[in-house]
């Protein structure tokens, strides 16, 4: 890692910290104020929880309305609030409930004419965010929220510029989806629930040092064959001859000795396994990416992509708002991209079977046709990519649906986590027409206590197979394949 990179990250962290604290201090005040206008729910946790659900939904909509995804209006929510107030209607009951459950949660063809007139042109988002919440199922008809709650909340939100992409925060009033994670994990219930924010450098290091070695082991790569030179994979912060910021003379000498030791051990053949890459703190991310760039064996590519990458599962048992899961995305995304690049190279320019041409290109078409047959699984995967708005959307959706799992004891944490993952996907599209229904990740990200439950496989089987009838049901559910040791 270069000194410039370290300096840039420190500055970015400082900027995010500043805007986050400012936003959260106001957010906490507005959350409390919102509760005063909310009725129809028992006092205490249910009201607090439902206020958080509403604010999460509205923050999601603030992000996407700024991209003109809601009726081509960057101020869609305020426009509708003012229109409903002028008509003497209640914004929550006569608009938001319809927007959530009859609009965003339904395809346009399923909405009636009155709903379409009320809502205008809005996308179908699916996802659990806009399905009725458990509290709405239980207290739906009783819940009421005064218009003043939304007027005050929108005044607060409008004091910030909402960016859906990952641009650096240049001003003190800019908000991006990452801020939601900072807010939740750094400031909410720290003492009561132990919800502490883990910084990006730590989450990144842990994810790289676990996910990437697992993939290398799974695919069966010989480290000695791919690590022909150790120098490119020693971090700049270790290799540089200059003093690091705040580094003492003793620390400098120890670091330079460490650098020399890594070189000497590599020359002696001591860096020969996946575990050694972690022990010597080498840049495993760059090593794996370089290996993929040079990969020419389609069999090995198939094994890596279809059997390892797509089937990898990353579970954070205390997920919070998703800090570790987003670090996992950062490690996995370039691997997906490089693997798909390799498929494209092996298949040729077009991922579709070519058609005969009388223009003298018979031989070239024959070779391409043979490639299509030879790499049919690659062709199928590239066709799946082309069915999405763009490749990055496909990659992020694949990672979120196939690879990421999280559990947290706080329901609010899982809601924020899902919200951030949805925003990550929506950020990749440029027009409402490109928005796909969001995948249902309620199974991937769940609220629960990972410290209780079954401790052994035997306990699970004992509960599942408590009776013969139950055993048959379980086996039917898994296609007739009983659990095996």
d(CA 279, CA 275): 6
Residues 164 and 290 both lie in one domain: no
Q: Is residue 22 part of a domain?
A: yes
Q: Which of 239, 230, 421 is nearest to 314 (CA)?
A: 421
Q: Is residue 99 part of a domain?
A: yes
Residue-range definition of the domain harbouring residue 393: 200-227+271-452
Q: Is residue 424 part of a domain?
A: yes
Give exposure, 352-378, as e/b (b: 16+ Cβ within 10 Å).
eebeeeeeeeeeeeeebeebbeebeeb
Tokens 């066709």 sit at which residue?
383
- Each residue of 52-81: pLDDT tens digit? 889 989 999 999 999 899 999 999 999 999
| Biggest CA pair distance of the chain | 81
Residues 206 and 348 both lie in one domain: yes
Q: Is residue 235 part of a domain?
A: no
Q: Is residue 479 part of a domain?
A: no
At residue 361 the predicted structure's pLDDT band, cuts being 50, 70 and 90, is low
CA 10 from centroid of its chain's CA atoms: 23
Of 97-101, 111-115, 405-409, 467-471, which range is least confident? 467-471
Residues 156 and 275 both lie in one domain: no
Residues 219 and 363 both lie in one domain: yes
Q: Is residue 187 part of a domain?
A: no
CA 152 from centroid of its chain's CA atoms: 31
Q: Which of 289, 339, 286, 280 is nearest to 310 (CA)?
A: 339
pLDDT of residue 193 exceeding 80: no
Residues 166 and 209 both lie in one domain: no
Residues 208 and 133 both lie in one domain: no
Residues 216 and 363 both lie in one domain: yes
In this prediction, residue 484 carries a pLDDT of 41
Quote the tokens at residue 7: 């300096």
Residues 158 and 297 both lie in one domain: no
Quote the tokens at residue 392: 């990055």
Residues 109 and 29 both lie in one domain: yes
Residues 32 and 120 both lie in one domain: yes
- Each residue of 244-267: pLDDT tens digit? 999 999 999 999 999 999 999 999
Would you say 413 and 150 are in contact if contact means Cβ atoms under 8 Å apart? Answer: no
Would you say 135 and 117 are in contact if contact means Cβ atoms under 8 Å apart? Answer: no
Q: Is residue 282 part of a domain?
A: yes
**β-bridge pairing 144-145 and 38-39:** antiparallel
> Mean pLDDT across the chain, nearest whole number?
85
- β-sheet bridge partners, residue 126: 438
Average pLDDT over residues 315-339: 95
Residues 214 and 68 both lie in one domain: no
Q: Which of 351, 212, 359, 206 is nearest to 290 (CA)?
A: 212
In this prediction, residue 158 carries a pLDDT of 94
d(CA 76, CA 68): 8
pLDDT of residue 45 exceeding 60: yes
Predicted TM-score of the model (pTM): 0.82
Q: Is residue 122 part of a domain?
A: yes
Tally of domains within the chain: 2
Strand intervals (E) in 368-484 = 404-408, 445-447
Residues 73 and 167 both lie in one domain: yes
Q: Find the angle CA(413)-CA(418)-CA(424) to the nearest 5 degrees.
A: 130
């Amino acid at each position: 890692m270069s000194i410039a990179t370290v300096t840039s990250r420190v500055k970015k962290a400082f900027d995010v910290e500043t805007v986050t604290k400012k936003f959260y201090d106001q957010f906490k005040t507005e959350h409390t104020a919102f509760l005063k206008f909310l009725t129809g729910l028992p006092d205490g946790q249910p009201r607090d929880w439902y206020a958080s659900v509403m604010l999460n939904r509205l923050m999601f909509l603030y992000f996407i309305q700024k991209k003109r995804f809601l009726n081509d209006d960057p101020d869609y929510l305020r426009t509708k609030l003012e229109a409903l107030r002028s008509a003497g209607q209640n914004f929550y009951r006569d608009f938001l409930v319809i927007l959530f459950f009859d609009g965003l949660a339904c395809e346009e063809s399923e909405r009636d004419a009155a709903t379409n007139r009320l809502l205008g042109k809005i996308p179908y988002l699916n996802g659990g965010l806009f399905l009725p919440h458990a509290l709405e199922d239980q207290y739906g008809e009783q819940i009421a929220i005064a218009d003043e709650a939304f007027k005050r909340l929108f005044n607060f939100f409008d004091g910030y510029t909402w960016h859906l992409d990952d641009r650096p925060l240049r001003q003190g009033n800019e908000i991006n989806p990452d801020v939601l994670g900072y807010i939740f994990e750094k400031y909410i219930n720290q003492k009561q629930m132990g919800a502490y924010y883990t910084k990006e450098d730590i989450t990144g290091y842990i994810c790289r040092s676990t996910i990437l070695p697992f993939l290398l082991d799974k695919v069966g790569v010989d480290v000695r064959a791919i690590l022909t030179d150790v120098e490119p994979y020693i971090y700049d912060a270790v290799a540089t001859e200059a003093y690091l910021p705040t580094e003492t003379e003793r620390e400098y000498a120890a670091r330079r000795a460490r650098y020399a030791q890594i070189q000497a051990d590599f020359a002696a053949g001591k860096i020969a396994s996946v575990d050694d890459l972690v022990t010597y703190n080498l840049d495993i991310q760059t090593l794996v990416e370089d290996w993929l760039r040079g990969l020419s064996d389609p069999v090995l590519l198939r094994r890596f992509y279809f059997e390892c990458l797509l089937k990898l599962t990353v579970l954070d048992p205390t997920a919070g708002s998703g800090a570790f899961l987003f670090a996992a995305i950062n490690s996995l995304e370039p691997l997906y991209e490089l693997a798909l690049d390799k498929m494209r190279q092996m298949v040729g320019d077009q991922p579709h079977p070519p058609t005969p041409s009388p223009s003298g290109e018979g031989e070239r078409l024959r070779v391409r046709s043979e490639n299509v047959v030879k790499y049919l699984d690659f062709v199928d995967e590239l066709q799946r990519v082309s069915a999405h708005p763009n490749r990055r959307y496909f990659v992020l959706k694949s990672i979120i649906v196939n690879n990421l799992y999280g559990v947290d004891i706080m329901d609010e944490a899982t809601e924020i986590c899902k919200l951030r993952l949805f925003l990550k996907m929506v950020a990749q599209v440029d027009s409402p027409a490109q928005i796909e229904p969001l995948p249902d990740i309620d199974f991937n990200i769940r609220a629960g206590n990972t410290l209780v439950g079954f401790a052994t496989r035997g306990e699970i089987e004992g509960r599942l197979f408590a009776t013969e009838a139950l055993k048959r049901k379980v086996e039917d559910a898994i296609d007739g394949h009983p659990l095996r040791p």
